[in-house]
Structure 1
Amino acid sequence: MRAVTYQGRHRIRVKNMTDAVLRHSDDILIRVTTTAICGSDLHLYNGDLRQLKEDYIIGHEPMGVVVDKGPEVTRVKVGDRVIIPFVIACGKCLYCQNQMESQCDYANEAKETGGYFGYSDSYGGFQGAQAELLRVPYGNFMPFVIPEDAELEDESLLLLSDALPTALWSVENAGVKPGDTVIVLGCGPIGLLTQKFAWLAGADRVIAIDHVEYRLEHAKRTNRVETFNFGKINALEEEVIQLTKGGADVVIDCVGLDAKRSGLEKIGSMLQLQGGSLGAFRMATRMVRKYGTIQLTGLYGLFYNQFPLGICLSETSR
């Protein structure tokens, strides 16, 4: 089968690889029809995940058609169209039973986190989805079956694998309620979807912040949000505090360590002293009202970043 493979920092190659096959009695095998590229794939491309070996198949946002299944699989049949989530979960452990599938105890022997497609042996060793075939474990729990009479094309459904539920969870977990003022940091795909869900949750005001002008224009056009370009406005935090009369009820950080880096942060990253920027988180602490909520949806997963939690939290005590 042909697959997209990691060949080292800034080197990705399509190669012929050994066909994926069933390994366990509850596995399913799908022929991938559509797959997306996630922002987190850039971390792999940039060599941030050093455990990733050459020839590892990447990708984790797929959908496709079931072509084979193990004898214990009863929930799907050959020929079903299915969406497969990024997170691999058994559906039976304590975490899965409490809707914390990303921490599944059985998907990853390392136990520190759950299993993920295409994210190295440290995350369960599951080959990725940017391939013609994909082995999916836990076939009675993992796949989301598209009804046979559904007329929607793959492109209308694919975001259900990762981006859309991430945005929905962000708004729900942040507790956005009718009447709230919500600030969303970032106008990428997750940020745009989060803005939409904030409106659906009843927010009275949704503000989008980014430094990429075309993304801000798109957010304003499609989501009816107020927009601010932090690259063009001095003392933006103070301006937002005044406009919101004390800060937002909820700030949702959809950027994480991928925020625009300062000169010192760029040097620190090159020297491997840190892994990204804390700019978005610091901005969130300065824009939220007292006793407001900061929802961290963006990734802050690199262990060598020193996370100044005490300093950042003290900035909210205006």
Structure 2
Amino acid sequence: MKALTWHGKGDIRCESVPDPRIEHPRDAIIKVTACAICGSDLHLFNGVMPSMKSGDVLGHETMGEVVEVGSENKKLKVGDRVVVPFTISCGECFFCQRGFYSGCERSNPNREAAEKMWGHSPAGLFGYSHMLGGYAGGQAEYLRVPYADVGPIKVPSHLTDEQVLFLSDIFPTGYMAADFCNIQQGDTIAIWGCGPVGLMAIRSAFLLGAGRVIAIDTVPERLALARQSGALTLDFHAEDIYERIQDLTNGRGADACIDAVGTEADGTASLDSVVDRVKAAVYLGTDRPHVLRQAIHCCRNFGTVSIVGVYGGLLDKVPMGSAINRGLTFRMAQTPVQHYMPKLLERIEKGEIDPSFIITHRAGLEDGPELYKTFRDKHDGCVKVVLKP
């Protein structure tokens, strides 16, 4: 089959790889009908995340048709149309039983590597390094789905692939970001990053009762989509974000702040972000947490900082003194997608949201390598890429 494979920093190829096969009785094989390039994939493309190996198949936003089912899988049958969550979860362990699917204790066969890095291992993920399981991803013609009687959700025929594909990751992630904010009617929510997750967070914040959303970015196409979603937008290259949020909230600060950027924050807007970039370049730091620092300072006393942007290692100079003395609450996670999928599918079916609004580019797998560059460099108005094998 054809698949997008990783061969080093900046080197993504579309090439032939072996077809997946059933390896466990609970598995399923799906024929991929749509997949997407995620902002998190760019961390792999840019060589930021460790433990990738040449030839690894990428992708964790995937849906398709079931073509083979393991003997113990009673949930799925051949012909079912499903969306696959990016988190691989057994459904039976301590965390899965409590709805914390992204903390699954069983799905990462390389948990020891993750424990050395983070103390404990999260769940295995599709197409996202050997530290997180080494599972082949879904930017391919076919995908093996472990624990397929727990993860995939069946979707009705009257909804298009593009309406439901993002249930695999970015819609639940954006919704969780807003959910973590404990939004009260009329709250002001500030969101850093108007990429796909940030845009989903904007829509979700309004669904959950926010009175105002302040969206921060600098890419014109992203800011335009944020405004179309109802947000007041700020360009961090054109104005002082802290001062503007202070002005907009009469000096109180935002009720909650969402970091939808993560480790590769823009390195040109402030001195601390330039220092972050230099330290990472000479291996004196692992992440660039400028956005997190700013979100902490912009949040009101006893407010919430919600973190869904990906961080991989150790963060320098995070202002914990500010957070502690002002009573901030931090909420963060890799999204337990299975927890959110049913309720979000219901919202799509009711017409409360159509997640396809963010798609700007559609193509086949063979165009994937070039579109990784287009997406990373934000060329051609690229906000979200969907690939159809």
TM range (shorter): over 0.9
Q: Distance in 2 between matches of 1:306 and 1:114?
A: 26
Question: Is contact 2:289–2:316 with CA below 8 Å preserved after alignment?
Answer: no
| Match runs of 1:135-214 below 5 Å | 135-147=144-156, 150-214=157-221
Question: Is contact 2:61–2:169 with CA below 8 Å preserved after alignment?
Answer: yes
User: Which stretches of structure 1, 4 residues or longer, exceed 6 Å deviation after superposition?
Assistant: none
Q: Distance in 2 between matches of 1:45 and 1:211?
A: 22
Greater relative CO, 1 or 2 (CA 8 Å, sep 6+)? 2
Q: Distance in 2 between matches of 1:307 and 1:90?
A: 37
Three-state SS of the structure 1 residue aligned to 2:173 is: helix
Q: 1:213 to 1:316 in 2, by over 3 A?
A: farther
Question: What 5-or-longer segments of structure 2 have no aligned partner?
Answer: 112-119, 268-272, 329-389
Q: 1:307 to 1:19 in 2, by over 3 A?
A: farther
Write the deviation string for residues 213-261 of structure 1: whole angstroms up to 9, x where unpaired.
33212211x2121111121113x31231132021111111111222212
Specify which of 247, 262, 278 is matched with residue 242 of structure 1. Answer: 247
Q: 1:53 to 1:101 in 2, by over 3 A?
A: same
Question: Is contact 2:287–2:313 with CA below 8 Å preserved after alignment?
Answer: no
Specify which of 116, 122, 128 is matched with residue 119 of structure 1. Answer: 128
Residue of structure 1 in register with 2:280 after alignment = 269
Q: Distance in 1 between matches of 2:77 and 2:158?
A: 19
Question: Is contact 1:285–1:315 with CA below 8 Å preserved after alignment?
Answer: no
Q: Distance in 1 between matches of 2:145 and 2:309?
A: 26
Which residue identity does 2:152 align to in structure 1? Answer: P
Question: Is contact 1:102–1:114 with CA below 8 Å preserved after alignment?
Answer: yes
**Do structure 1's residue 258 and structure 2's residue 264 form an aligned pair?**
yes
Q: Distance in 1 between matches of 2:72 and 2:54?
A: 33
Question: Is contact 2:155–2:164 with CA below 8 Å preserved after alignment?
Answer: no
**In terms of mean alpha carbon deviation, does 268-277 or 180-189 score higher?**
268-277
Q: What is the deviation of 1:120? A: 2.0
> Across the two proteins, how many residue pairs are aligned to each other?
313
Identity among equivalent positions (%) equals 39
**In terms of mean alpha carbon deviation, does 133-142 or 81-90 score higher?**
133-142
Residue of structure 2 in register with 1:134 after alignment = 143
Per the normalisation by structure 2, the TM-score is 0.77
**In terms of mean alpha carbon deviation, does 279-288 or 17-26 score higher?**
279-288
Which residue identity does 1:114 align to in structure 2? Answer: A
Q: Distance in 1 between matches of 2:247 and 2:316?
A: 31
Residue of structure 2 in register with 1:14 after alignment = 14
Q: 1:118 to 1:195 in 2, by over 3 A?
A: same
Write the deviation string for residues 270-295 of structure 1: whole angstroms up to 9, x where unpaired.
11212332111111112111111111
Q: 1:311 to 1:257 in 2, by over 3 A?
A: farther
Per the normalisation by structure 1, the TM-score is 0.94
Q: Distance in 2 between matches of 1:312 and 1:163?
A: 30
Question: Is contact 2:303–2:327 with CA below 8 Å preserved after alignment?
Answer: no
Specify which of 275, 296, 304 is matched with residue 307 of structure 2. Answer: 296
Q: What is the deviation of 1:142? A: 1.1
Q: Distance in 1 between matches of 2:155 and 2:92?
A: 23
Three-state SS of the structure 2 residue aligned to 1:178 is: coil
Question: Is contact 1:176–1:201 with CA below 8 Å preserved after alignment?
Answer: yes
Q: What is the deviation of 1:209? A: 1.1
Q: What is the deviation of 1:307? A: 5.5
Q: CA RMSD in A?
A: 1.7
Q: Distance in 1 between matches of 2:274 and 2:318?
A: 19
Q: What is the deviation of 1:85? A: 0.6
Which residue identity does 1:306 align to in structure 2? Answer: D
Write the deviation string for residues 74-93 of structure 1: whole angstroms up to 9, x where unpaired.
11100111100100001111
Residue of structure 1 in register with 2:99 after alignment = 99
Three-state SS of the structure 2 residue aligned to 1:158 is: helix
